Chains A and B, each alone.
Chain A
Amino acid sequence: MDIKASGIGTALPGLVEQRRSPLALTERFVLDRWRSMAVWAIGLLVYTVLIVSLFPTIRDSAGFAQAAEEYPDALKEFLGGEDAFDLTSGTGYLSAELFNLVLPLLLSIWAIGFGASMGSEQHDGTMDLLLANPIRRWRVVVEKALSLGVTTLGLASVPGLVVLVANGFVALDIDWTSLAATVLAVSLLVVVHGLVALLVGAMTGRRGSAVGAATVLFAAGYLLNGLGGLVSWLEPFKMFSLYYQALGQFPLREGWQWDNLALLLFICGLVTVVAVAVFERRDVG
C-alpha cells in the first residue's frame, strides 16, 4: 500500500529526504565511547610496554625462573600448565603475564560493560528514543553486537601490536601468526561474554543482571579450565569452558586453532540471534 494514500506521509514543506545511514546506530554506540576507549587503549599500551620491557631482566635472572619453577605444580597447572609458566621463553612469559589472564580479564570488563548497556539503555530511557525512530528492533541488537565486537578487537590489538613491534628489540621470539591467533582468541572469548551481557540486558532491561550473569559465566569458564587440568574427573568437562576453547590450548605457541575459533564465532552468532528474538518480544523499559 502506498504510504501517501494512507495519509501517513502528509508532506510538510521544507523536508529534506536524505539517505538513511545503515550504520547510524553503530556510529552512536562507538563514538559515545571513544573517550573511554582512548583511555583503555593507553592503559593497555602502557601495561604491555612495561611487561615486554621487563622480559630481558626476568629471562636472564636465575632467581625469577627458579621462583617460578618452585611454584607448586597444582598452581602451575591451574595457571595454564608447565609450558605457559616458563618465564624464560617469550611465549611462556607473555602467556603468564598478559594473554592468559590479565588481557582477557581487562577486556571482559570492557565487553561486558558494553553489552550490559543493552539493559541500562532501557532503564535510562535512551532506548525509547531510539526505538521511536524508523528502525527495526533487531538492528539495535545487531549493531550493538557489531560495535561491541569491533571495539573489543580494536582494544585487543593494542597489546598485540606492541608485542609485534617489540618482538625484534627484546627477542621475544613470537611467531606473528600465533600472536594474531591469540589476539583473536582473546577477543572472541570476551566478545562472547559481552554478548551474553547484551542478551541478559535485552531480556531484563537491567544492567546489574547483565553484568552479573556474564561475570559468573566468565569465572566459571576460567575455573573449569584451570581445575580441569587438576581434577581428573573434571577433565572431560573442560571442553565446555569457553576459556578453554579460546586459550586452553596455548595458541601463542600452537598458532591458529580454527575449530576453536569457529566454535566461539558460532556461539557469538547464536547468542546474538537469541538476543534479537528476545528483544523483539520485549516490553522495553
Chain B
Amino acid sequence: MDVGTAIETCRLTKRYGQSRGVEDLDLEVFAGEVFGLIGPNGAGKTTTIRLLLDLIRPTSGSARIFGRNVRHSNVEIHTHTGYLPSDIRLYEGLTADEFFDWLGRLRGRHDASFTDELIERFALDPHRPIGELSTGNQQKVGLIQAFSHRPSLLILDEPTSGLDPVVRREFRSVVHETTALGATVFVSSHELSEVQDVCDRVGTVLEGRLESVRAIADLAELHHRSVRLVLDEVVQAEEIAGLDGVGAVQVVPSVVGQTIFELQVTGSFEHLVRRLARFRVLDVISQPASLEDVFLQSFDRTGREIQKVGQ
C-alpha cells in the first residue's frame, strides 16, 4: 500500500442505463496535493465524487482512499474526509452555529476555534437560520462544514460557485493553509480559471472519460491569450505573424482604413507590444483562453470535431 496516495481509482465505471456516468476512470491523487477535476457540466465530475464518497456504487472498477476501499471502509474514510456537495442543500431550520455544533456531535470531531475563524474569514452570519441565507452564504456554510473537523482529505464539488471574489480569495488561502498542514484537497470545477490558482495538478474529464492529467505548470494553455487588435491603418498580417509568441493571426473584415487582427499570444507580450509601437493602435483586447478554448478545441475520441463553445 502506498502511503503517498490519497485517492486511487481503478477502471472506475458508472453507467446509468443508456447515459454515461464515468467510464474506465484511472485516477491517482497524491497525499498532500491539490488536485482539480475539470470538465464541462455533465462530464462526470459529480458522478466521480459521489462514487468516491460511496453515495453511489460503481458498475465496475473500484476506488480506494488512503489505501482503503471506499465501499467497505466508508466510516473510517468519512471520519477523515470533508465533503462539499455541488448545489448544497442544508437543514434550513438551523442556524449555521447550531449546524456546526450538531455535525460535531455526529462526527465526534470538531475544531470549534477553527470553525469560528472560518466564519469570521468568510464573513458569515452564524446566527441566522440557514434557510434565510442567500445561495452564496449557504455555500459558505457548506465550505466551513467541510473544513470544521480538520479532515485530512477534502472533496469539494464546485467549491467556488456562488462565492464573491473576496470569499474566493479567502477560500484559496484556506486551501493553501490546509495543505501546508498535510491535507489533500480534491476539487472539481467546470472552469479551469476558478481553480487554477489552488491546484497542483488538474485532470480533465470529457464525456465520462479522463482525458489527461497534467501538472498546472505544464498547462501551456494557461498562458494562452486570445487577443483582438484594432489598428487605425492598413497593416499586412505578416507584420504581426511570425513574432515570438504570436500565433494563428486572422484578419477580420473591418471598415476601410482600419485593420482588425485576432490572434493567440503565448507567454510574454513583449515582442507584440514592441511591434505595435509602430502603428496607430486603437484597441487591444486580451482575454485568458477559456476552458473551452483550452480543452475543447481538440477532437474527441470518435474524431468528430467538438463544437467550439462561446465563440
| Complex contacts, B181 vs chain A, CB 8 Å | 10, 12-13
Tell whether B150 is near chain A: CB-to-CB under 8 Å: yes
Q: Interface majority SS on A: helix, strand, loop or mixed?
A: loop
Among the 9-residue stretches B52-60, B187-195, B260-268, B299-307, the one with 4 or more Cβ atoms under 8 Å from chain A is: B52-60
| Complex contacts, A12 vs chain B, CB 8 Å | 111, 150-152, 178, 181-183
| Complex contacts, A284 vs chain B, CB 8 Å | 50, 55-56
Is there an interface contact between B183 and A10, defined as CB atoms closer than 8 Å? Answer: yes
Report the bound CA distance from A104 to B3 in whole Å: 58
| Complex contacts, A25 vs chain B, CB 8 Å | 106
Among the 9-residue stretches A130-138, A195-203, A232-240, A268-276, the one with 4 or more Cβ atoms under 8 Å from chain B is: A130-138
Tell whether B108 is near chain A: CB-to-CB under 8 Å: yes
Report the bound CA distance from A3 to B73 in whole Å: 11
Nearest-neighbour CB distance to chain A for B59, whole angstroms, equals 10
Chain B interface size, under 10 / 10 to 19 / 20 to 34 / 35 or more: 35 or more
| Complex contacts, A27 vs chain B, CB 8 Å | 102, 105
Query: Which of B66, B93, B111, B114 is within 8 Å of A8, CB to CB?
Result: B66
Report the bound CA distance from A136 to B85 in whole Å: 19
Report the bound CA distance from A125 to B50 in whole Å: 12
Is there an interface contact between A133 and B85, defined as CB atoms closer than 8 Å? Answer: no
Is there an interface contact between B67 and A7, defined as CB atoms closer than 8 Å? Answer: yes
Give the size of the chain A interface in residues (CB under 8 angstroms).
Answer: 38
Is there an interface contact between B91 and A32, defined as CB atoms closer than 8 Å? Answer: yes
Query: Which of A6, A7, A285 is within 8 Å of B50, CB to CB?
Result: A285
Among the 9-residue stretches B76-84, B204-212, B219-227, B249-257, the one with 4 or more Cβ atoms under 8 Å from chain A is: B76-84
Is there an interface contact between B110 and A18, defined as CB atoms closer than 8 Å? Answer: yes
Is there an interface contact between B183 and A134, defined as CB atoms closer than 8 Å? Answer: no
Report the bound CA distance from A32 to B129 in whole Å: 12
Is there an interface contact between B104 and A132, defined as CB atoms closer than 8 Å? Answer: no
Query: Which of B55, B81, B145, B149 is within 8 Å of A285, CB to CB?
Result: B55
Is there an interface contact between A14 and B113, defined as CB atoms closer than 8 Å? Answer: yes
Query: Which of B55, B102, B152, B178 is within 8 Å of A132, CB to CB?
Result: B55
| Complex contacts, B283 vs chain A, CB 8 Å | none
| Complex contacts, A18 vs chain B, CB 8 Å | 104-105, 108-110
Is there an interface contact between B105 and A21, defined as CB atoms closer than 8 Å? Answer: yes
Tell whether A283 is near chain B: CB-to-CB under 8 Å: yes
Is there an interface contact between B75 and A136, defined as CB atoms closer than 8 Å? Answer: yes
Query: Which of B89, B108, B145, B150 is within 8 Å of A134, CB to CB?
Result: B108
Tell whether A129 is near chain B: CB-to-CB under 8 Å: yes
Asked, given contacts A126-B91, A129-B88, whether A28 binds B102 with beta carbons under 8 Å apart, the answer is yes
Nearest-neighbour CB distance to chain A for B180, whole angstroms, equals 10
Q: What are 6 of the A-B contact pairs (CB < 8 Å)? A: A7-B4, A7-B31, A18-B109, A24-B102, A24-B105, A136-B74
